[in-house]
Amino acid sequence: MDAFWLFARRMLRYKAMIVWAMVFAGLSAGGLGVGLVSIAPVLRIILTEQPPAASPPAPEGEASAGAAGQASAGVEPGLADVVLAYNEKVPEWAGWARVPPGVIDGLPRGQFTAVVVIVSALGVLTLVGAAANFLHAYLSLTVVYRTATNIRREAFHRVVRLPLKTVVTGGASDLVSRIVNDSNQLSQGFATLLSRTVAQATKGLAGLLAAFVLGPLLVTSALPVIILLYVVIRRLGKKIRRASRGALKSQAGLYASTTEVLQGLRVVKVYTTERYEAGRFHRINKQYMRDMMRVRMARALSSPLVEVLTLFALGLLSVIASKAIIDGTVEVESFIATLIALGAAGASLKPITGLINEIQASSAAAQRLAELMNEKAEAGHNTKLPKLARHAETVEFDRVSFTYPGANRPALREVSLQITRGERVAIVGPNGCGKTTLLALVPRLFDPDPAEPGRPGGRVMIDGCDIRDYSVRSLRRQIGVVTQETVIFHGTIRSNIAYGAEGATPERVEAAARKARAHEFISRLPQRYETVVGEQGLTLSGGQRQRIAIARAILRDPAILILDEATSMIDGESEARIAEAIGEFSSERTCLIVAHRPSTIRSADRIVVMHEGKVIDEGTHETLSERCEIYKQLFERR
């Protein structure tokens, strides 16, 4: 089944609203159908010539016969004549459908009076139809917006549960485009389907039924054209869906380009690459335009093609009707009323061409969302998995290898390393040697490569337990991470420090800030801990952002602390104070450090040297300075 319809089925969660919406759509269309059927009697009354003189009133008790003979006896034709003509057409077996004589006698006389009564009744019917139309749209859009909100929430939930490897491969901007833009496109398709298409289709159907009642021969002649229109619209819709899919991909590229430039605007300006970035955006924008151009022919052709086929159909109907009128098998007023009904049906059904095109465009968005929903979720979130006990003994890497998607060589090659609880281990090496990748395996942001012929599968173990066998939430709750690229969320400083620490009291937040040496600058801010920081913390300096990130890790009270260039954005004086704070805090905690500064490296209990994805040596600063050439080169450069 098409992805659009799979998502559309989720609207059935609100069955009661949908049923009522369909009822009101039927009422609105029914009013239109009744109004169209009423055209014939009005025309019959108006077109009937008035007799020169009135005949004497019929004797009491002969109402039906008298009404039947009024026109021929010189009385103005009125509603009674119309109803009597209707009774005559009703077959004997359906006598229950005839209007009783008593009702006929009570109908108003005279042409003008009859027209006024019919038009007044139609006016009331129009008001009822308008109210029903409003309620149909109101209920339909309620269902659409609630369903789209649920789908958007589920898509976001799926994204935050995706493996980091998948996000890195596909790119964050593409995922943002799917959650925001594609879900909005899908919502528009739902609104088109449930609100506008249903309204137009029911009105068109009511018009066709009215036309069939007034002139079944003419409507039957038009059926081949209706079938041809369906085939044309369906083929054009498929072409629009394929082209729209490419346009949505290009639009995701626009999101990516714009986000990258705006986030790195400081670098763009400093390196004077405004012209280069403008050119790059222009190329992506042109590709988006080309994808949209592929849709234009189908969209532009659909409306005039439908109009041409409709005009040919009307011409054919006119020829058939003219022959029938000449032969006396069809009345002129019935023909005119049928044409009006068919015109109303055509006016209601014509927009459906564009509406179907919109639904087909939404199908492309639905397909992209379906691909996202079908992505395999991150492992370790199964509620049946046991919780990992708080780290108390060792952290061990057992022959772990890891390769990034699309890379031609592994970032880690059978790394084996054991770290005792409470030990402070610094991992050093040239850029790209795998230091950050190795530490990312501890909180299970990545999993080691699986076993292959000639290479066993690696394991990351805490206290002798393979972390893949335990709940990933229980693992990450005992790990604190501070990276070189600090992440600050839009909100207050307090909320940023307390991020991920449910129920943290103001006292605990302030204590963590003091340990991270952040309390001093926070106290000087206008609103102190309630000061709102801008997106990505751009209202703070790099050092201030880093201290908030360190305070966040301290508040978490982790058993394992990972510091990946955590002091790289701090000046020398602040680094010494933060190193002292980390030294106090990391007591009886396992601390894994990636650092380049000599002071940070020297303070570690053990130093591990990596090169090209392998551990080549480990020891203290003194021993490595004597025997490890790569370590000596690294230290000399600093």
Which one, of 175, 204, 415, lies nearest residue 306 by Cα?
204
CA angle 459, 460, 464 (to 5 degrees): 100
Question: Can you tell me the mean pLDDT for 612-629?
Answer: 85
3-state secondary structure of 492: strand
What is the C-alpha separation between 532 and 495, in angstroms, rounded?
9
Which one, of 454, 175, 393, 222, lies nearest residue 320 by Cα?
222
pLDDT over threshold 50, residue 74: no
Q: What is the pTM for the complete model shown? A: 0.69
What is the C-alpha separation between 196 and 190, in angstroms, rounded?
9
How many Å is the Cα radius of gyration of the chain? Answer: 39
Q: Check residue 1 and give its pLDDT.
A: 47
Q: Check residue 238 and give its pLDDT.
A: 66
Q: Check residue 431 and give its pLDDT.
A: 82
Name the range with the highest mean pLDDT among 64-68, 193-197, 305-309. Answer: 193-197
pLDDT digits (tens, 9 = 90+) for 531-544: 888 666 767 777 77
Which one, of 291, 89, 233, 256, lies nearest residue 174 by Cα?
256
Report the percentage of the chain scoring pLDDT > 90. 2
pLDDT over threshold 50, residue 68: no
Q: Check residue 221 and give its pLDDT.
A: 65
pLDDT digits (tens, 9 = 90+) for 557-605: 888 988 887 666 566 666 666 667 677 777 778 889 887 777 778 878 8
What is the C-alpha separation between 609 and 64, in angstroms, rounded?
111
Strands 412-420 and 459-462: unpaired
Domains recognised in the chain with CATH numbers: 3-38+113-373 (1.20.1560.10), 383-476+605-638 (3.40.50.300)
What is the C-alpha separation between 481 and 348, in angstroms, rounded?
61
State CA 421 to chain mean position distance.
Answer: 46
3-state secondary structure of 296: helix
pLDDT over threshold 70, residue 401: yes
Q: Do 536 and 564 touch, CB atoms closer than 8 A?
A: no
Name the range with the highest mean pLDDT among 129-133, 303-307, 449-453. Answer: 129-133
pLDDT over threshold 60, residue 48: no
